[in-house]
Chains A and B, each alone.
Chain A
């Protein structure tokens, strides 16, 4: 009887090997994750405050500025 880690590795390996529909689904998952993180997040969705400021104090100051600036309009 093989040891537990070996059996677990085999369990996953054999499981992945014997997949049919699952292979297509995994491809979709990977392509999706790639597009989301490597393209969407990286190029289009930088974190607004992290990229503009280096300390939390600056971020807090900035947000305070935003919420106390006069002539606020809503909607």
Chain B
């Protein structure tokens, strides 16, 4: 491989980011709306009121549109793994391939059965079985997000596996450790709970639009009432799981935490930046203040990251250059040990080829001593280990500000919903209409925090993205980037057009 082609790596990353973000336009709505449909239908079955049936059918139609257009957009990511990220795929494929395939097959059969009942079965199966199918669709859709999120969690915190230098693969040692790793749990729960919020905002947006237009008023009010209860619960859950994610970051990916908090100089009792404008000229180690303007919550970051007011939170400088007082080893030393690991791995391979079992054994033992620093050996200089700080910082803060907005909106909609005065609150309804777009922004921003914040790693501390790629011509990746940009934009336009059409028709069109 020798020199890594930067253009290739960057185009491969850009392509992955583009397709993942487009894919993620469809997913949260599927995850959340499926549950909302199940709630609506449960009320219908419990009350026997036909109005609720119409309402359920209406939202189910919108759910169906989103599902049909979004389905299989994630497969593109798998294509990219095999073509653009073949080194990475080889190294982890053994573990993730089989569970993902099983999950795909199970999801297919679940969907083929229960989706069919959900859409075709209204007058052909019993009410109870129909309701059961709707619930199964909700549970199944959410479960089918499980393994891919576990896989993502593993990339951030590679646990439960061992690297086998003979197969050049990470091999599973403990399935449960992978499945129940704290990062995987936080990922799954935060992703699903925030996706519920996205769907709640979708229901708010459509219903608020109807209330503004004074159409389908009863249906809109009913939908809002159920959605706001679900929204408030999801909001609390999202906050708790978000807090858990930050706690994990502090232990497992401290650089990510430092980046999204814009923390350069670590300290005990570190403050949490509530509002701040970052200094665009700031670079690591230059002594400049990272913020032009800053309003901070005293000791908030120590509390968030370590759950103690006076705990030390390392900043970018501490992590890159080390901090002896706090026992933090700098990246320069880690790079040395990483390079040693690569050299030992290479020596092991050569000894194996030469049939020298003794030398191979020694090289392997030495490799194991430095193995946990392997990825650092590919970095040229300590500063290469820093993610884009400003992007991480702004994405994180946008996500959290919007979270507060969603919480307040759910509360307001619930209170006015219960008082039955929501349609009179003309000032509030436009917030409901835009809330869905804001929720999509928050959700995408969340992934930016998680993924940009962990750069340069494809597998945390083990494999940087530059080594994970395939040896391709950058031009090829660029071509397919644009191809996907066009393809996905067409899909999105189709979604918007069909969705709007259906919303205009209202429940009669369902």
Residues of A whose CB lies within 8 Å of any CB of B are 11-12, 14-16, 18, 21-22, 24-26, 28-29, 32-33, 35-36, 40-41, 44-50, 56, 59-60, 63-75
Contact = CB atoms under 8 A, between A and B. Distances in A.
Contacts of B91: 63
B496 interface: no
Interface string B51-84: 0000000000100110011011001100110111
A72 B65 contact: no
A68 B459 CA distance: 16
B362 interface: no
A32 B72 contact: yes
Given A47-B82, A47-B83, A72-B377, 8 more contacts: A21-B61, A26-B68, A29-B72, A49-B82, A63-B86, A69-B2, A73-B380, A75-B465
Chain A CB count within 10 A is highest, among B82, B119, B342, for B82
B480 A73 contact: no
A60 B477 CA distance: 24
Q: Which size class do B's interface residues fall under?
A: 35 or more
- What's the dominant secondary structure at chain A's contact region? helix
Contacts of B165: 64
Contacts of B384: 74-75
A67 B120 contact: no
Contacts, number: 143
B324 interface: no
B465 A32 contact: no
B464 interface: yes
B464 A49 contact: no
A49 B82 CA distance: 8
Nearest to A56: B167
B465 A63 contact: no
A12 B116 CA distance: 7
Contacts of B124: 11, 14
B342 A67 contact: yes
Enumerate the 9 nearest inter-chain pairs by beta-carbon distance, A residue then B residue, closest first: A15-B120, A48-B86, A25-B68, A74-B464, A45-B79, A47-B82, A74-B466, A68-B346, A48-B470
B491 interface: yes
Contacts of A66: 1, 87, 467, 471
A55 B492 CA distance: 41
B487 interface: yes
Contacts of A68: 342, 345-346, 349
B328 interface: no
B64 A67 contact: no
Nearest to B65: A25
B10 to A, nearest CB: 9
A41 B470 contact: no
B472 interface: yes
Contact of B72 (A24, A33, A74): A33
Contacts of B380: 73-74
B272 interface: no
Contacts of B444: none
B90 A45 contact: no
B120 A14 contact: yes
B412 interface: no
Contact of B498 (A24, A33, A44, A70): A24
B305 interface: no
29 contacts: A14-B120, A14-B124, A18-B120, A21-B65, A21-B498, A22-B64, A25-B69, A28-B68, A28-B491, A41-B79, A44-B480, A45-B83, A46-B82, A49-B86, A60-B168, A60-B169, A63-B168, A64-B168, A65-B1, A67-B168, A67-B342, A67-B463, A68-B342, A70-B2, A74-B379, A74-B456, A74-B466, A74-B467, A75-B456
